[in-house]
């Protein structure tokens, strides 16, 4: 592969000092960054030189929680009580999902994520071979897991566990490391304790992290107390979940002691502020997590509860929400929001050695924003503008492992029109009440 | 003027039943809507036929609170305590503002608002002749007011009052009614009681509404109690403010009794959720306002505390924030969020007879969204998609009074490049510490 260099850009490195390089450059070869610094005078050694004058170059975003197939249900049902939403709307339609539904729902999600600057995503769903194939084909990077719900007879539990393990073993490290996997008990309220233990044992065998929904709603926490006599964190701790590297989604309703436990085990959090608001789940204690050094990353959850996958919206939301909720405007500053969407996201998916910042030796996963737009002026503070003023719609170019996937806003690896047409076709086929 | 018709669109009328017309059309002549309904077979009577197949046509958005000149300070200072932000960052720079600063700050705001689908805006600032001239030149619609701060000697108070009155009298009804005005005491904490009374008397004389900041922070409420022995609502009621049609900005910290008073006087509220979060002011009691039938509209406040003027973000935020804060997902449904950004906005600026919905006889102020984008699919529920999935960046075309101001994302009435260049030039000239 030839050496490529992007020059004359405003480079947000998101390195340890959040360094911004004006008139900066990044170069890469074989998918790996070989230079990050000022635009060099000597460019003869590069096979390709891309002029990014007046544009912002930054790490691709990492979306640490979602269910990509569910984009097929975007806007199908909003503004309903959670249980009614699940029981009368989501579950009856999801029960009809075939591989073809997941194929087009996930394709819709991938196009959307790519076009709004997400380069790495977490997916917890069913029919995951399809998701892995689409990830490979699209050029994205992902940490994938077959989410298993254990409210079923033992033989079905076993079948699901074997399916999840086979998927995880087969795909981990695929596509030059772009696809990695996890084991995923869906949640403490959907998996009996012994089933969670079996899944965790399998994660130990396969040496994989665990991903699980946790403490999303007060109802769920109370349910756990009723069923098991403990709140979810202590329950999962006792089941040994946190002895594996773990990424928990939501983590909205936590006590001080639970926060301390998460910090003690270095459990990673996927904070999904928009989904938590939309479903009326509540507001997570993010400032308290930050104070304890807990790794807080950002997730969109699915488009059914968001209703898009533009992680720039989460970045702005996390910077706004906790300031207002606590009436303290210094909480979650822009630099931390940016880190949550990039390097902390990389940590949350256990890839911080490879992605999440623009540093020599890391993978060339980066995005270019059209910062010529009015939202980015006066061009005083690019980090502020990226967090508070930008939209994923401002992303023009996307690269993963040095391969360009989006060019001037157009997705190169997916046929967007066909995806939209097929998503509508598959949605129309679902039987609605 | 010739008759124009837009056909084959998904039309969100925002009429009394929130009617959506699929394969719909709107026609207009001399700036007034003459038809809203299904696409007619007979098109011969129209001089211009625009095919909007696969696009959403909806009323232009109404931004009911802002300070457009302050876009010049976008991203200059974030994540600071409010008083430090004001005293060390905003005020020292604003004190240096000349007409030229306001000209380019406001131009930046106008370009941004137009490109993101706002057709009517409220501005409370200084050097308002410039703002009015730019409003006229840009083709936008506005309700403008010279915001007066009364913490100054009597002669300066009088000078400001005369300036505000002269501005209001001169511009009200200008440009075929596109420019309307108000009288604006800045706030109860920045204007002595007798000065507020003088401003209100002038509003009576000129038969104009009043616009005022109110109860934005707890500090401000406490200050009012300390200074005058009452909370702001009772204070302003006693001063006779609410005997004029009144639009209050923020209204975050209110008691039940204060809410009842606002309802009693039909005071309109400009809810600025993003600014209130960013400055750590708090979360307004919007569901309680809705319950009392108070007109809640949406405002961005300035780009210095937002940091953009994309009212689609406010629309999504109001639909999300109160659900999460109250842990109740049925609050502020999508239809109400849409109404807040359109017809309730029109009511808040006392123009509901002319704008805010697409109905025959109203002004042809409308926007067209590129709903072919991935965010709008499956194309199940356009109102849900507009509120929860769209961005102002999806706006392609903007019309005010039947005149096209934005075409395929490009602003026809303002030179965007020159605006950006001049905004940067004027910002660079400001002395910073």
Long-range pairs of B194-199 with CB within 8 A, sequence gap ≥ 24? B195/B148, B195/B150, B195/B157, B195/B161, B196/B150, B196/B236, B196/B239, B196/B241, B197/B239, B197/B240, B198/B157, B198/B161, B199/B148, B199/B161, B199/B164
- pLDDT value of residue B203: 98
CATH for B61-348, among 3.60.150.10, 3.20.20.140, 3.30.450.20, 3.10.180.10? 3.20.20.140
Provide mean pLDDT across the span A132-141: 98
Q: Mind listing the pLDDT tens digit for each residue in B301-315?
A: 999 999 999 999 999
Tokens for B346? Answer: 């029109």
Beta strands (DSSP E) in A361-427 are 366-369, 395-400, 403-407, 410-411
Contact B113, B133 (CB under 8 A): no
Interface test with A, best of B377, B386, B393 (most A CBs within 10 A): B377
Judging by beta carbons within 10 Å of its beta carbon (0-12, 13-18, 19+), is residue A383 exposed, middle or buried? buried
* DSSP category for residue B386: I
A231 is in an annotated binding site: no
Mean residue pLDDT across chain B: 97
Q: Which pLDDT score, from 0 to 100, does residue B1 have?
A: 60
Contact A79 B333 (CB under 8 A): yes
Residue A179: pLDDT over 90: yes
Compare all CA atoms of chain A with the CA of B319 and give the residue at the minimum distance.
Answer: A278
Confidence of residue B332 (pLDDT cuts 50, 70, 90): very high
8 Å CB contact of B379 and A80: no
Asked if CATH classification 3.40.50.720 holds for the domain at A4-59+356-411, the reply, yes or no, is no
**Which DSSP helix (H) or strand (E) runs through B147?**
strand B141-148
Neighbour count for residue A238 (Cβ, 10 Å): 13
- Give the residue carrying structure tokens 């998701």: A131
Contact A74 B330 (CB under 8 A): no
Facing B384 at nearest CB: one of A75, A384, A385: A75
- pLDDT tens, residue by residue, B94-126: 999 999 999 999 999 999 999 999 999 999 999
A146-162, pLDDT tens digit by residue?
A: 999 999 999 999 999 99
Q: What average pLDDT does the segment A129-146 reach? A: 98
Q: What is the token pair recorded at B15?
A: 């009429």
Report the alpha-carbon distance of residue B295 to residue A217 in Å, rounded: 32
Q: With bands split at pLDDT 50, 70 and 90, how would you rate the model's confidence at B356?
A: very high
Is B397 in contact with B404 (CB distance < 8 Å)? yes
Q: Is A330 close to B276, i.e. CB distance below 8 A?
A: no
Tell me: is residue A42 an annotated ligand-binding position: no
B374-399: per-residue pLDDT in tens?
A: 999 999 899 999 999 999 999 999 99
Residue B86: what pLDDT? 87
Q: Is 90 exceeded by the pLDDT of residue A83?
A: no
Distance CA A165, CA B141 (A): 61
Q: What is the pLDDT of residues B163-206, one digit of tens each?
A: 999 999 999 999 999 999 999 999 999 999 999 999 999 999 99
Q: What is the pLDDT of residue A68?
A: 98
Q: What is the predicted pLDDT for the residue at A36? A: 98
Distance of CA A95 to the CA centre of its chain: 24
Mean per-residue pLDDT, B225-251 = 98
In total, the C-beta contacts within 8 angstroms joining chain A to chain B are: 201
- Give A429→chain B minimum CA distance, Å: 12
Of residues A112, A277, A323, nearest to B320 (C-beta): A277
SS3 B74: coil
CA B28 to chain centre: 24
**Which residue from B423, B372, B363, B427 is spatially nearest to B394, judged by alpha carbons?**
B372
Q: Using CA coordinates, name the residue in chain A closest to B305.
A: A388
Q: Which two tokens stand for residue B158?
A: 């009088």
**CA separation (Å) from B233 to B228, B252, B255?**
12, 12, 9
Q: What is the pLDDT of residues A294-320, one digit of tens each?
A: 999 999 999 999 999 999 999 999 999
DSSP string covering B323-383 = HHHHT-TTSS-HHHHHHHHTHHHHHHTT-TTTSSS--TTSB--EEEE-TTSGGG-S-S-HH
Query: Is A277 in Cβ contact with B323 (below 8 Å)?
Result: yes
Strands A118-125 and A48-51: unpaired
| Whether pLDDT at A433 is above 90 | no
Virtual CA dihedral for A108, A110, A116, A119, nearest 10 degrees? Answer: 180
CB–CB contact B377 A423 (8 Å): yes
Q: Rounded to whole angstroms, how far apart are CA atoms B102 and B94?
A: 10
Q: Is A266 annotated as a binding residue?
A: no
Confidence of residue A1 (pLDDT cuts 50, 70, 90): low
Q: Which residues pair with A148 in a beta bridge?
A: A185
Output phi, psi for B18, to 5 deg: 50, 40
Centroid of chain to Cα B296: 12
DSSP assignment, residue B39? P
Looking at beta carbons, which residues of chain B come within 8 Å of A424? 377-379
Count the Cβ atoms, other than its own, within 10 Å of residue A48: 10
Long-range CB pairs of A25-31, under 8 A, 24+ apart, other chains included: A26/A57, A26/A358, A26/A364, A26/A366, A27/A3, A28/A3, A28/A4, A28/A364, A28/A402, A29/A1, A29/A2, A29/A3, A29/A4, A29/A402, A30/A1, A30/A402, A31/A1, A31/A176, A31/A363, A31/A364, A31/A401, A31/A402, A31/A403
Q: Is the pLDDT of residue A82 over 90?
A: no
Other CB atoms within a 10 A radius of the CB of residue B1 amount to: 12
**Domain spans of chain A?**
4-59+356-411, 61-348
- Say what the ipTM of the complex is: 0.97
Give contacts of B106 with chain A, Cβ < 8 Å.
none
Contact across the interface for B81 and A419, Cβ inside 8 Å: no
Residues in the annotated binding site of B for substrate: 94, 146, 186, 216, 301
The CATH number corresponding to B4-58+355-411 among 1.10.3720.10, 2.30.40.10, 3.40.190.80, 2.40.10.220 equals 2.30.40.10
Q: What is the distance between the alpha carbons of residues A185 and A180, in angstroms, rounded to a whole number?
A: 17
Backbone angles phi, psi at A183, to 5 degrees: -105, 140
Is A391–B388 a contact, with Cβ atoms under 8 angstroms apart? no
| Residue ranges in B74-171 assigned as alpha helix (H) | 82-84, 91-94, 99-115, 128-138, 154-171
A271 is in an annotated binding site: no
A146 is in an annotated binding site: yes
Residue from A394, A236, A204, A72 nearest B116 by CA: A394
* Residue keyed to tokens 């999508």: B334
- Residue pointed to by tokens 């104070």: A291
Residues A320, B274: C-beta atoms closer than 8 Å: yes
Of B60, B73, B65, B71, which Cα lies nearest the Cα of B26?
A: B60
């Amino acid at each position: 592969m030839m050496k490529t260099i992007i020059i004359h850009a405003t480079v947000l490195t998101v390195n340890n000092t959040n360094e911004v390089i004006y008139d900066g450059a990044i170069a890469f070869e074989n998918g790996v960054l070989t230079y990050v610094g000022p635009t060099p005078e000597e460019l003869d050694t590069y096979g390709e030189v891309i002029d990014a004058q007046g544009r912002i170059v930054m790490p691709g975003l990492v979306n640490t929680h979602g269910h990509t197939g569910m984009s097929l249900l975007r806007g199908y049902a909003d503004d309903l009580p959670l249980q009614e939403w699940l029981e009368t709307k989501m579950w009856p339609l999801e029960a009809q999902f075939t591989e073809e539904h997941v194929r087009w729902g996930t394709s819709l999600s991938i196009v959307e994520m790519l076009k709004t600057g997400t380069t790495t995503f977490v997916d917890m769903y069913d029919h995951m071979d399809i998701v892995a194939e689409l990830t490979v084909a699209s050029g994205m990077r992902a940490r994938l897991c077959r989410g298993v719900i254990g409210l079923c007879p033992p033989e079905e539990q076993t079948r699901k566990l074997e399916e999840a393990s086979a998927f995880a073993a087969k795909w981990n490290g695929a596509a030059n490391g772009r696809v990695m996997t996890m084991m995923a008990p869906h949640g403490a309220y959907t998996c009996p304790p012994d089933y969670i233990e079996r899944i965790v044992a399998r994660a130990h065998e396969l040496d994989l992290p665990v991903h699980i929904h946790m403490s999303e709603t007060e109802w769920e926490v109370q349910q756990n107390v009723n069923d098991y006599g403990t709140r979810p964190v202590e329950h999962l701790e006792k089941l040994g979940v946190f002895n594996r590297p773990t990424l928990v989604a939501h983590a909205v309703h936590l006590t001080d002691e639970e926060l301390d436990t998460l910090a003690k085990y270095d459990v990673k959090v996927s904070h999904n502020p928009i989904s938590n608001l939309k479903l009326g789940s509540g507001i997570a204690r993010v400032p308290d997590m930050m104070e304890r050094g807990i790794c807080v990353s950002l997730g969109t959850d699915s488009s059914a509860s968001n209703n898009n996958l533009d992680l720039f919206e989460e970045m702005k939301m996390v910077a706004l929400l906790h300031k207002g909720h606590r009436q303290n405007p210094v909480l979650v500053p822009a630099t931390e929001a940016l880190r949550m969407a990039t390097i902390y996201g990389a940590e949350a998916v256990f890839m911080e050695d490879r992605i999440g910042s623009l540093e020599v030796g890391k993978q060339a996963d980066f995005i270019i924003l059209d910062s010529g737009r009015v939202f980015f002026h006066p061009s005083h503070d690019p980090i502020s503008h990226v967090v508070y003023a930008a939209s994923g719609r401002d992303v023009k170019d996307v690269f993963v492992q040095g391969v360009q996937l989006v060019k001037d806003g157009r997705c190169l690896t997916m046929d967007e029109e066909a995806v939209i047409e097929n998503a509508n076709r598959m949605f129309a086929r679902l039987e609605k009440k």
